[in-house]
Amino acid sequence: MQTDKTVIALGTFDGLHPGHRAVISACITLARETRARSMVYTFIENPKSLFGPAPLELMTPEEKIRAIRAMGVDTVEAVHFTRELADLSPEAFIDMLAEGYDPSAFVAGEDYSFGRGGSGTSETLVRLASEKGIYTKIVSTVNIKTKAGCSSEKVSSTLIREALARGDTETARRLIQGEAV
């Protein structure tokens, strides 16, 4: 039996690479363990597009929402990233989420940033949520081994975009799939 509480995964989730999937999977697991609803709170457009040229879109908004739902999340809250959202302080952003969704927990990656100018960090999220009695789970960065196997690299949408920009679709595919590059 589910409670009326929600576990919320936070992120842009542009491309659903292994790091994104780890955050969403952790959200689903925590929600099941606590009998809460799982929810992904994300943006329709990449927040960077409000401040300059939009980064290369790795998935359309529809594809992203469909892929997130396919992972088994109960709810996807995809909102437009507006100037009003961009201007919220980290505190105001967490207040908005707490008041609007009554979360029992947040889940985010360790490199998550939020609030005006990206001034909130995963550490800020933990502190602000804790002050409201909300648990926060921070998911470690996902690294992928290089083909040589002697080093690893952090999987990121930026790395995928860089591979695509240089025409290296095989590396981009491997990064998205979580294979050695």
pLDDT tens digits, one per residue of 56-72: 889 999 999 999 999 99
Q: Does pLDDT of 121 surpass 80?
A: yes
Q: Are residues 102 and 169 in the same domain?
A: no
Domain hosting residue 171, numbered range:
143-181
Q: Are residues 156 and 175 in the same domain?
A: yes
Element (H, E) at 94: helix 90-101
Number of domains in the chain: 2
* Mean pLDDT (whole number) for 120-130: 98
Both tokens of 109, joined, read 């990656």
Both tokens of 96, joined, read 């908005």
- Is residue 1 included in any domain, yes or no? no
Q: Are residues 66 and 149 in the same domain?
A: no
pLDDT tens digits, one per residue of 64-119: 999 999 999 999 999 999 999 999 999 999 999 999 999 999 999 999 999 999 99
